[in-house]
Amino acid sequence: MYTVSSRLRTFSIALIIIGLFGIGYGFITAPKTVDDVKEMMHSAEDSHGATTHNEEKATDAHAMQSAEDHGSSEVSEGHGDEASHYEHVLSQAQNRPWTAIYIPMIFFLLISVCALVFYAIQRAASAGWSPVLFRVMEGVTGYIVIGSVIILVFLAASAMHANHMFAWMFKSSDPTAANFDFAMETKEWWLNVPWFLIRSVIYVLIWIGFRHLILKNARLQEETGDMKYFKKSFKFSVIFLVMFLASELFMAFDWLMSIDYHWFSQLYSFYVFASMFVSAITVIALVTIYLRAKGLLPQVNDSHIHDLAKYMFAFSIFWTYLWYAQFMLQWYANIPEEAAYFHPRLIGDYQPLFMGMVILNFVFPILILMNSDYKRIPWFVVFAGIIILVGHYLDVFVMVSPGTVGNHWSFGIPEIGALLFFAGLFILVVFSSLAKKPLEIKKDPFIKESEIFHY
């Protein structure tokens, strides 16, 4: 039986508290009025000296997205109008603390959900190597419930106009309204607040419900050793995978793609999945290596680590494949309504992040994890894993930020605070859920294969 060490508990609680301060700081320092924005921009200019940072760049993300978006926003004058510009900058600046928490919020929740997907795949595939890792995977899925509740609260707050995260929530499909947006004429059937919230609840219920079913069934199997429960686990896993595929498709459209609501990509959900799936496998590997280093997983040998590292390697490449497919096709065709999405990312202010994450998510993993001897060295896998996690955090950052904070992004106290808060919460919840049951699973028909597994 594993118990969360007091050091780990203190550490995670410390992260949460520090993170809370950072988040609070972000909300307190966010500008309240247009005057604050002007002052902020002037002081930024002073400190940056010659680099005229904000004002001169009319090509921020939203402006690129569409001129209509601007022209018909709160102030109905033209695009170049100064008042409307400051208004716009204000809403972006006010979005910053919200964006800062949304990114790690979605990052850790989807990691947890994808860990459940990985677990379900292992069960559905009758994998012989992984049963000794089942408990670790179950532990990582422990964050699903609390993570889901947090995100639902966040989305409800957004729906009540607490922030400008989802710009379409402020638009109308009525041509006579001041906030009319032509895009909403065709998208309102999908992008409307009640239906959006109902869908969000449905996604979350699917994940929580299946986690509950699969884990409860696994516990019954361990207690009784009855093959009936083993077969049921298989069934639940398969049904979950089907349900997940469908729910994830629309979840990614809703929670991420609708931030840049003028833009669309058919591949988007698959891309989000690849990003979060590789992160989930990485987290499973990191937790396994941590617990094994403490001597708590005696059945886990280097071959298991090797297999996990292979998955990290393979899905890093898979992520890159989808990243490239989505980017290259829109870059190649260069159709304006699609290219606007990649403009701030490829040649705008997000370029270092956009390119940097490809190096972190592809170049490093492929070089580090190519050698099969290296994949058996725990610290090496940890090193690669941290790079992968940083890279995919940036991936979510680049998905969300351009549509919410525009070119005024920075990585400061609000972002670090939010990241620490959610990391602390994730660690605390995951390890507490690991402490609830023994780490060794019993009476699984494949457990012996897994214990003697050698590659």
Partner 1 sequence: MMGHYEAPIREPIITGDKSYHDVTLDVVAPIEGKANKSWYIAFTIALVAFLWGVGAIIYTIGTGIGVWGLNNRINWAWDITNFVWWVGIGHAGTLISAVLLLFRQKWRMGINRSAEAMTIFAVFQAGLFPLIHMGRIWNGFYTLPVPNPLGSLWVNFNSPLLWDVFAISTYLSVSLVFWWTGLLPDFAMIRDRATKPFQKKIYSLVSFGWSGRAKDWQRFEEVSLVLAGLATPLVLSVHTIVSFDFATSVIPGWHSTVYPPYFVAGAVFSGFAMVQTLLLIMRKVSNLEDYITRVHVENMNKVILVTGGIVTVAYLSELFVGWYTGSSYEDFVYLSVGAATGPYWWAFWSLIMCVAVIPQFFWIKKIRTNYIWTFIISIFINIGMWFERFDIIVINLSRGHLPSSWTMFSPTFVDIGIFVGTLGFFFVLFLLYARTFPVIAQAEVKSILKSSGNNYKRERDNPTAKKEEV
C-beta of 265: minimal distance to partner 1 in Å? 5
From candidates 245, 347, 355, 386, binder to partner 1 by CB under 8 A:
245
Q: Which residues contact 196 (CB under 8 A, 6 or more apart)?
A: 155, 159, 254, 258
Residue 66 Cβ vs partner 1, minimum distance, rounded to whole Å: 13
CA distance 140 to 427: 9
The residue among 195 and 411 lying less far from partner 1, judged by its C-beta, is: 195
Indicate the residue among 21 and 324 with the shorter CB distance to partner 1.
324
- What are the φ/ψ torsions at residue 180 (nearest 5 degrees)? -65, 140
What residues numbered 294-353 form the site for partner 1, per CB under 8 A?
317, 321-322, 325-326, 328-330, 332-333, 335, 337
Stretch of residues binding partner 1 (CB under 8 A), selected from 135-143, 266-274, 287-295, 435-443: 266-274
| Smallest gap from residue 248 Cβ to partner 1 (A) | 9
- Work out whether 267 is an interface residue with partner 1 (CB under 8 A): yes
Residue 386 makes contact with partner 1 by CB under 8 A: no
Identify which of residues 13 and 121 has a Cβ nearer to partner 1 in the complex: 121
Using CB under 8 A, pick the residue from 36, 55, 87, 449 that binds partner 1: 449
Nearer to partner 1, 10 or 126 (CB): 126
Q: Which stretch binds partner 1 (CB under 8 A): 28-36, 112-120, 141-149, 242-250?
A: 242-250
- Choose one: 27-35, 149-157, 248-256, 278-286; the region binding partner 1 (CB under 8 A): 248-256
Q: Residues 190, 290, 374, 383: which binds partner 1 (CB under 8 A)? A: 190
- Out of 18, 185, 302, 443, the only residue in the binding site for partner 1 (CB under 8 A) is 185
Task: Quote helix, strand, coil % in the chain, to nearest 5.
Answer: 75, 0, 25
Tell whether residue 13 is a contact of partner 1 (CB under 8 A): no
Among 6, 7, 47, 454, binds partner 1 (CB under 8 A): 454
> Hey, which residues between 84 and 113 contact partner 1 (CB under 8 A)?
none
Q: Which residues bind partner 1 (CB under 8 A)?
A: 126, 128, 183, 185-187, 189-190, 227, 242, 245-246, 249-250, 253, 264-270, 317, 321-322, 325-326, 328-330, 332-333, 335, 337, 445-446, 448-449, 452-455
